Each structure stands twice: as C-alpha cells, then as structure tokens.
Amino acid sequence: MNKKLIGVEKLLKLYERELDHARQVNHLSMILFDKTAKLLHNFGEQEREYLNAGSLLHDIGYFIDAKNHNKHSYDLIMHNGIAGYTEQELLIIANIARYHRGKPPKDDHKCYDSLIDNKTRNLVRKLSAICRLADGLDRAHISIVKDIDCVYDEFSHILHLIIETSMPSSLMQVFAAEKKKKMFEKEFNLNVMLRLK
C-alpha cells in the first residue's frame, strides 16, 4: 500500500463510524467511474485516486455531528491532511467529500472557490456527482448493490444504470438513488434511468 493510501486509511479508521458504508460508497464510486470512462469522461488514474480518497472519507464528518456532516468531512480532511498529497490535491479530495450531499458547489463557497482554476472546479463537480450518486445507491447503509452496468445512448443522452443487488426486492435503493442523481445529470449533461437487473 502506498503512502497516500495509508494516509487515507489512517484518517478513515480514526473518524469513520460506519466503515462498511464508506467502503460500499467507495466501491460503487469506482464502478461508476470505471464504467463511464470514455463514455462520459476522459479522466485518468490521478482523478480516480482523488475520487477513491474522497468517497472513502465522505462521511467522516459524522464524528463531529450528523448535521452538516459533509462540511465537517471537508474540515477534518483539511485539518488532518493526508501524507503525500499537495494542498491543492487535498482541496480536491475534501471538496469531493463536502459535496457528496447538500447544495451543489457555488462560487461563493469558500472551500470551492479555493480550488486553483475552473478546470479543477469542473473536476470536483463531476467527481462529487459520482460520489453523490454512489451514496444514494447505499442510502440504507446495508451494502446490497453488487454491481452496476452502464449503458449510454448518445442520441437520447440517457445513461441507463442497471443495478444488480444481493436481495430480490431492492426498489428502495433505486428510489434513494433517484433523489441523488440530479447533480450527476447536470454535470454530465444527460438523464439517468435506474432499474434493477
């Protein structure tokens, strides 16, 4: 395990109360990232690494308080730091965690405005949208989503997410994700249709 991953794991174990949920959101974020590569984005390993860290740490703010836990996650990441990451890289990771829920990024948000340029802000919006959708797919914190197939129709601009679960009746997971797909749709300029496999 490299220095950066050790730092992320250290922070996760220090503050996260629901490790299974953190790892499930991370797992789903990585599936969404990988299966939409070249379909919706041209991000590489560096961007994947940021999403990996941000999705693992998205809920550590619960350690402080449930209300505004996303903002607390940002604060804990920035306050503690992660060995191997620059200040700007930490800002990217912390902003991914910050925007996994709540209002989307705005220019008057100090944490978002601190990012170095518009390209980086665009990256944060897209990676946050992936994390947000993944979080919606584990709304009940019971890790029942096993896999996601992504089929993109470029003519209708519809991304079909076909969800495989470990339980036969899992409509609640689909309904929860429906509520968290709006930012993803906006950032990738498409509509998301969710259904069970």
Convert the pLDDT of each residue in 167-186 to its tens digit. Answer: 876 677 677 788 899 999 99
Query: Which residue segments constitute the domains of the chain, with CATH numbers given?
Result: 3-140 (1.10.3210.10)
pLDDT value of residue 172: 73
d(CA 47, CA 55) in angstroms, rounded, equals 12
pLDDT, position 179 = 87
- Give the pLDDT of residue 1: 72
- Antiparallel, parallel or unpaired: β 158-165 and 191-196: parallel
pLDDT in tens, 99-131: 999 999 988 888 998 998 999 999 999 999 999
pTM of the model: 0.96
The whole-angstrom separation of Cα 57 and Cα 41 is 23
**Angle of helix 45-56 relative to helix 118-136, nearest 10 degrees?**
50
What's the confidence (pLDDT) of residue 169? 66
Which pair of tokens denotes residue 136? 């919606």
pLDDT computed for residue 133 by the predictor: 97
Per-residue confidence (pLDDT) for residue 167, from 0 to 100: 80
How far apart CA 132 and CA 154 sit, in angstroms, is 23
What pLDDT, on a 0 to 100 scale, did the predictor assign at position 171? Answer: 72
> Given this model, what pLDDT does residue 118 score?
94
pLDDT tens digits in sequence order for the chain, 197 residues long: 788 999 999 999 999 999 999 999 999 999 999 999 999 999 999 999 999 999 999 999 999 999 999 999 999 999 999 999 999 999 999 999 999 999 999 888 889 989 989 999 999 999 999 999 999 999 888 899 999 999 999 999 999 999 998 887 667 767 778 889 999 999 999 999 998 88
CA atoms in the 13 A half-sphere facing the CB of 197: 15
Phi/psi of residue 165, nearest 5 degrees: -120, 165
